[in-house]
Structure 1
Amino acid sequence: MIFDVRLPIGLLFLCIGVLVAGAGFLGDPAVFAAHSAGLNIDVVWGLVMAGFGSLMLLLAALARRKTPPPTR
């Protein structure tokens, strides 16, 4: 069986993305207004990272489904 790197990469990005987005949602809005032109960068990049992680997990699941089991 070949090790598929998409699974751990997907889990890593999904977990870190959820943590970063959560920190952005819980952060003080006044800080974002003063430092990043009113854009909550933590939420944006957290969602981007979670989306990438979800895409990697989807691709890993599709590859696992497509690959036939080895015959002996």
Structure 2
Amino acid sequence: MPFVQAVTEFSFLLPPIAELVRGALVLALLASVVLFFRPLLSGLVRAFILTVRPRLSRQERAARQQRNALSGRA
């Protein structure tokens, strides 16, 4: 069986395998980018959370802690 005939006969297997390899490479690249920029991404998430729900002031936290202590909750 000549090489060209063998390759064309089994070429139906190449596209699905190539797509799987390509998908795995894209997934690995995405994971490596996320791991590399993890500190930046976590900082952006924390900044967004503080924007949506600001932190209580020191006096408000002390008042809440005192109120919780008086009501019996820890």
TM-score grouping bracket, smaller chain normalisation = 0.3 to 0.5
For normalisation by structure 2, the TM-score amounts to 0.41
Instruction: Specify which structure has the bigger relative contact order, considering alpha-carbon pairs within 8 angstroms and separated by 6 or more residues.
Output: 1
Per residue, is there more helix in 1 or in 2? 2
For normalisation by structure 1, the TM-score amounts to 0.42
Bigger-Rg structure (1/2): 2
